[in-house]
Amino acid sequence: MPMPPVAKRVPRVDVLHGETLRDDYAWLRDKDDPEVLAHLRAENAYTDAVLKPTEAFQAALYAEMLARIKEDDRTVPFRRGDWLYSSRTEKGKQYPIYCRKRSLEAPEEVTLDLNVLAEGHPFCALGAAAVSDDGVRLAYTIDFTGFREFTLYVKNLATGALEPDRIERVASLAWTADPAILFYVTEDAAKRPHRLWRHRLGATADELVYEEPDELFRLGVARSRSLAYVFAVSGSHTATEARWLRAAEPGGPWRLIAPRERDHEYEVEHGTGPGGDLFYLRTNGGGRRNFRLVTAPVADPSPERWTELIAHREDVMLENVDVFAGYYVVQERVDGLPRLRVTELAGGATHHVAFPEPAYEVAPDANAEFVTPKYRFRYQSFITPLSVFDYDMASRERVLLKRTEVLGGYDPTRYRSERVHATAADGTRVPIALVRLKDAPRDGTSPMLLTGYGAYGLPYPVTFASSRLSLLDRGVTVAIAHVRGGGELGKRWHDAGRMLAKRNSFTDFIAAADFLVAERYTARDRLVVEGGSAGGLLIGAVLNLRPDLCRAALLRVPFVDVLATMLDESLPLTVGEFEEWGNPKVRAHYDLMKTYCPYTNLAARAYPAILVKTSVHDSQVMFWEPAKWVARLRTLKTDDHPLLLKTNLDAGHGGSSGRYDALRELALDYAFVLGQLGRAPAGT
């Protein structure tokens, strides 16, 4: 099948800093234009035709991945008030069913069945959800488009009927102690959460409590674990301002904890301690970039009243704190690896919870109860499936409640997980986590899939996926390059890969790939690189810098038109992300962006084989970015390697919402990857 024709219309021309910016494919932005939809469908048809020989292989991959999954399954119940809450899946159904019981032996009550809600909709995603203190009503938000435009509903759990309340564009919500009153936050036209409202059930007009005027800041509302307070938090990428309200006084005044200031982020929770009620704050003001932990009296939480519990440390990132009636638990990251630190409030005794593997992920699970001796967490690694533990904070006993079952005889001893380091050009050590068959040769013959992200200070999690076994069992090594811009080594690791330091993310990834080739984990003609969203920017920039780096690339919802997107302040996320990428209206930011913007820097050269995935209802990376990138690359590339664009016409940033549909999408990705690596059946 011939490649889709690349249509050109009157180009868009802008002038910035005395330079002309020409965009021949700006017309692809208009998804209401029938020709745009026709273009996307033509690209889909071309991709389907090119990959048609892999259809049987895709079906086989889907079947083997599905065969590893326990389709009828249930999460570990957690207690909140008088109920035990959990969710379950049923064979053949795309979505989870949320339910609760009075006790483990009591009959089940379904609170929300997403399969029922999804009927007649190609997409369905649950956003926020919270049950009123009396357990009678469930407030929840649902999106049926993929554009993350959530509508708030209230369900009476006693009768099963929906209340008349309907509120559009809700980003977060929190009940008060009064079961008839809740707070919610709505978005503006650019999808920025900015207005906090007080809502009484059944009311047709709500009270605007607070409006966040600064476009850099996004507003959210949440309830404390103790249920005593409601917090309204305005946050940018670099600063925070939090307000609090007593949950028992929903009409009362909101009070400020600490005013926003440059480069000061903080998070707040409620607990107790000497002297009574305290706010616990994870704060990085005063240049303490990796955060410290302080308390503040609720009566006067101003910064001059703060008492330090955990000091700032340059080599330890304080990532999260969970506060309970008798303990607090801090999640820290040391040399890129997470650990838990448990402290008893009464005596101040502290201990750490250790984990054995070279690379792993630990995160809090559902810890809804304030008065409890137990802390629930999730542990997983490349080799260990997701495991839920209850940890007794007094006795230090760790009880495994559930480990995700992998059907088909999964044997973890067949695989080896490693953590190694590449050295960047400036001498920086870049961590790499990888997993492979234990007997995989290290002689340059093993194929590899290398991924990365490197943005927003987010660590790339080292998680388990039974679907990944379809790569590993075919001899493919899977690796993560923890490049600068992420949060693996704390805030300074983030700082070293954002704004004017952004190019470090790309050169770190290249250094990681070069290291893995030099150490004979793989070879260039056996390497596929992959990234999604901001990770798609990473891969797009790397392909321009080093198109010889790999055999093929997979880009999912890639942020590849940085200059044009950051110039359009009407788009979701743009203004707020001036603190991550920069503002191209600032000359220094523009000069740096134009050196790496993947779309801007496409050139007449040979590129590897490329598969690009996007979704037409994506609200975070607009579909036209990858569509434009592919269209322009088609006119420039000098090779005959496949260049494929696959657009989901019914989904958003995360792809298909149903679990079976998502698995089929992954089967297509794996068929492409394995085909490029020579690990697909003959004839595909």
By annotation, the residues acting in catalysis are 533, 618, 653
Separation between Cα atoms, residue 120 and residue 128, nearest integer Å: 22
Structural tokens at position 481: 């390059």
Strands (E) located in 158-251: 162-167, 170-175, 181-187, 193-200, 207-211, 218-223, 229-235, 240-246
3-state secondary structure of 542: helix
Other C-beta atoms closer than 10 Å to the C-beta of 262 total 8
Separation between Cα atoms, residue 233 and residue 417, nearest integer Å: 39
Whether residue 195 contacts residue 219, with contact meaning beta carbons closer than 8 Å, is answered with yes
Query: For the chain, what is the radius of gyration of the CA atoms?
Result: 25
- Checking 660-665 for CB contacts under 8 A at 24+ apart, the result is 660/66, 660/94, 661/94, 663/62, 663/65, 663/66, 663/467, 664/58, 664/62, 665/613
- Kindly list the distances between the CA atom of residue 456 and the CA atoms of 208, 499, 579, 585, in Å, as whole numbers in the listed order: 31, 11, 10, 21
Whether residue 130 contacts residue 173, with contact meaning beta carbons closer than 8 Å, is answered with yes
Separation between Cα atoms, residue 16 and residue 627, nearest integer Å: 24
Separation between Cα atoms, residue 137 and residue 130, nearest integer Å: 8
Whether residue 339 contacts residue 361, with contact meaning beta carbons closer than 8 Å, is answered with no
Whether residue 334 contacts residue 349, with contact meaning beta carbons closer than 8 Å, is answered with no
Q: What are phi and psi of 151, to 5 degrees?
A: -110, 135
Which ranges of 68-112 would DSSP assign to H, the alpha helix? none
Do strands 73-74 and 19-23 pair parallel, antiparallel, or not at all (unpaired)?
Answer: unpaired
Structural tokens at position 271: 């607990």
- Kindly list the distances between the CA atom of residue 250 and the CA atoms of 32, 72, 163, 231, 318, in Å, as whole numbers in the listed order: 44, 41, 21, 12, 32
Handedness of CA 46, 50, 51, 53 (dihedral sign): positive
Structural tokens at position 102: 């009075």
Q: What value, to the nearest 5°, has the Cα angle with vertex 186 and ends 148 and 559?
A: 40
